[in-house]
Amino acid sequence: MSKQLIVPYKAPAWAQQGLPSEFVPTSRIELAVMPTPIREWKLPDLPEGFEVLIKRDDMTGSSLSGNKVRKLEFLLADAINRGCKHIITCGSFQSNHCRATSIACAQLGLQCHLYLRSAVTDETQIKYEGNLLLDRLVGANLYFVEKENSYMTQLNQTKLQMDELALKIKEETGEEASAIPVGGSTTLGNWGYFNCFEEIRNQGVEFDDIVCCVGSGGTIAGLAIGNYLCGSPYRVHGVLASEKSVVFAEYVDDSLKAYGLFDKVGAFDIISWHQEYMEPGYDENTPEQLEFIAETTQATGILLDNCYTGKAAYGMVQLIKNKPEVFKGRRVLFLHSGGMFSLGCENVRGAILPSSTKGKTTMCDKPVNP
């Protein structure tokens, strides 16, 4: 069944010309609803002279909503073509990537294994809500690992655990497993946003700058390298949600090296990095960020999560207000990368709802007769 969904893929001409042929995929699996629309986004209190557009990649699907499904189209097609029956990946406790992977695996008849970073050490205290609820509902195998202070240490340790599990599955069942790094960010996963960049170009919307959140590096890498190969018509901005820019710049540089482009350009040449809005920490927010999320959602009807898109949009607006010189022009495209399911978590509700300034709840005693 899963092989029937794999379709031929023809890369854009600029990608075929600019990248080594061994890095150009020839197939993908149809998972996402594409193209996603680009709309005007009337943000409250936007300085006069600026126009913001929004690329609605939160509309790539319902349960598969968000940017991760674009990467999975290439990663899962490759895994299926290699005969893999198991998919192993990792992320945070409320990982959008892990949720998208678990649901895609259920749709394709693959067994999913998720390594999730958690501050909760007692299994009985785990709350199945948000993304984690969906992971459980679709039958993913969950492995909770203690959260480390160092992001890179965590990634290296989890990679070893995933590799060990793949070997164990092979020994016990004879079946192959594909281990996908955090966020689906690999030289193959980057194609999700090479493809998206071509989609944006074909939509014929005029703008000067692209802004997106940086959580693992694959989305910004695809957009920025695609932009570079097309002659850099836009300036690409990455607003970081967790680690400092050097961590993700290293990932982009590694991608450039693999593609044979690093002798010409580096991550800091093709991306404008903004790390000043990730504080107070990953999945943590300032009162100003929470107020922005509430006001923007109420004013525009577009849902922003507190971990990724809310921080990125907040950072974009602060840059427009306080550092307009960082932009190439005055027409900015914001990539909405999804993440709405975590809004249903108790800790997120408790943080965002007090920031709400509109709406009321009324208890009615009895129906009113017509």
List residues with catalytic annotation: 95
Tokens of 347: 């800790």
Between the two ends of the chain, the Cα-to-Cα distance in Å is 55
CA distance 62 to 58: 9
| Alpha helical stretches, state H, the chain | 13-18, 68-81, 96-108, 130-137, 151-173, 191-202, 218-229, 245-258, 267-270, 287-300, 309-322, 346-352
Name every residue whose Cβ is closer than 8 Å to that of residue 38 and which is 6 or more positions away in sequence: 53, 54, 55, 56, 200, 203, 205, 333
- The sheet carrying 111-118 orders its strands as 141-146, 111-118, 84-92, 176-179
Decide: helix, strand or coil at residue 340. helix
Question: Which amino acid is present at 367?
Answer: P
Residue 191 and residue 77 in contact, taking contact as beta carbons nearer than 8 Å: no
